[in-house]
Structure 1
Amino acid sequence: MNLMRLQERHDVTVGREGEIFTGDAPPDQPLSRVQGAGEAWHAASHMPRNTVFVERAGAPGWMYSFQTSRGRAYTLFAYFDGSDYQVSVLAPELGGITGAPVFPGVASLEEAYAKSVIWAAGMDAVLAGRPSPC
């Protein structure tokens, strides 16, 4: 199995002697999960087609853009901060919000992406002078 395919798998763990497990791993030894092993798969299969892996301010993560139902374009950056996934707004310019995390950290890239789309829909409603639908 080549490295790229290995990195795209969800269930990659490594044993203490360097064994690589791509399926069920022995439960009787300490294992390390490859951080982000499932991220590439999730980004490619569940996030916008324009999603790219980049490094911003020393943090590697996923940059993606989409339009809300009101037509406003958002570009966001989802990254793992060592304990949770964070999402920050790159565009549009939203004053003090741009560049800062937009909601408390979450446990997965999947949840970070889903919440970011919902957050953008709510922000778009507020910017249009309507109550947030969320």
Structure 2
Amino acid sequence: MSGNPGNPSDLNELRDIIRQAQSLGAPYPQDPAARITVGRDGKIYRGDQAGDEPVSKVHHGTFAAPSRRAERRLAEDQRFARTHMPEGTVYIDEPDVRGWAYSIVTELDERYTLFAFFDGREYRVKLVEPALEQLVRRNVVSAHDGHLYPDGTICLSEARGAGQPTLEEAYSKSVLWALGMGFVRNGYRFPFAAEGPFAAEGR
């Protein structure tokens, strides 16, 4: 960090400015000496940079951290996955991908690999294998008939693209979907939906 006038002299000074604002509950301090800004050159300044150069205000509040509610939900989901989901279920924890990957074999002896995740509001499930979403993209199977969107997301409820309120319900309904999809792949209507009879297409 440079020592130019208006720049915090070191990281300790920058830390103190931020922490002072947080302790006062002031995300946007009024006193220029008690706030920082960022210039278009990417440099951090204390107060407003002199001259005509535009600066961006900085929210001095605490960086986001997992809430206790989110931590409790994750702990409950981990217990459920450990005791109720298939052996070999893996929790994937990557910056942009967090959820459970699991594989099942249906009563039709078909294997499916699925991925369940919480999107901030509900639990959704995506099909990993087999890549049946390609059938939807090519209009071999309609999204309506297969309850599967072109991006591989399974439709688990009446609302478009909606999931289920818990990991338990998302998992159990994804198993039911996989069995129903097996019938669709063999030329029958999806058997677990009210809109169509359990009969072969065209009969």
Q: Does the aligned pair in 2 maintain the 1:51–1:64 contact within 8 Å?
A: yes
**Is 1:130 the equivalent of 2:188?**
yes
Deviations 1:88-123 (A, max 9, x none): 000001114575320121100000001100111110
- Within 2, Cα distance between the matches of 1:129 and 1:56? 38
In structure 2, the residue corresponding to 1:35 is in which secondary structure? helix
- Within 2, Cα distance between the matches of 1:41 and 1:130? 37
Larger Rg over CA atoms: 2
Deviations 1:38-94 (A, max 9, x none): 111100111101111014681200000011111111000000001110100000011
**Is 1:119 the equivalent of 2:154?**
no
Uncovered stretches (5+) of structure 1, i.e. residues with no partner: 1-30
Alignment counterpart, residue 38 of structure 1, candidates 65, 68, 76: 76
Q: Compared with structure 1, are the counterparts of its residues 89 and 37 closer, same or farther at alpha carbon in structure 2 (3 Å cutoff)?
A: same
**Is 1:61 the equivalent of 2:93?**
no
- Give the 4+ runs in structure 1 shifted more than 6 A: none
- Within 2, Cα distance between the matches of 1:57 and 1:37? 18
1:36-115 equivalent positions in 2, closer than 5 A: 36-55=74-93, 58-94=96-132, 95=134, 96=137, 97=149, 99-103=151-155, 104-115=162-173
Give the TM-score, by structure 2 length: 0.47
Uncovered stretches (5+) of structure 2, i.e. residues with no partner: 1-66, 138-148, 156-161, 193-203
Q: Does the aligned pair in 2 maintain the 1:59–1:81 contact within 8 Å?
A: no
In structure 2, the residue corresponding to 1:49 is in which secondary structure? coil
- Within 2, Cα distance between the matches of 1:66 and 1:117? 7
Which structure is higher in RCO with an 8 Å CA cutoff and minimum separation 6?
A: 1
* Amino-acid identity (%): 39
Deviates more, 1:86-95 or 1:54-63: 54-63
Give the TM-score, by structure 1 length: 0.70
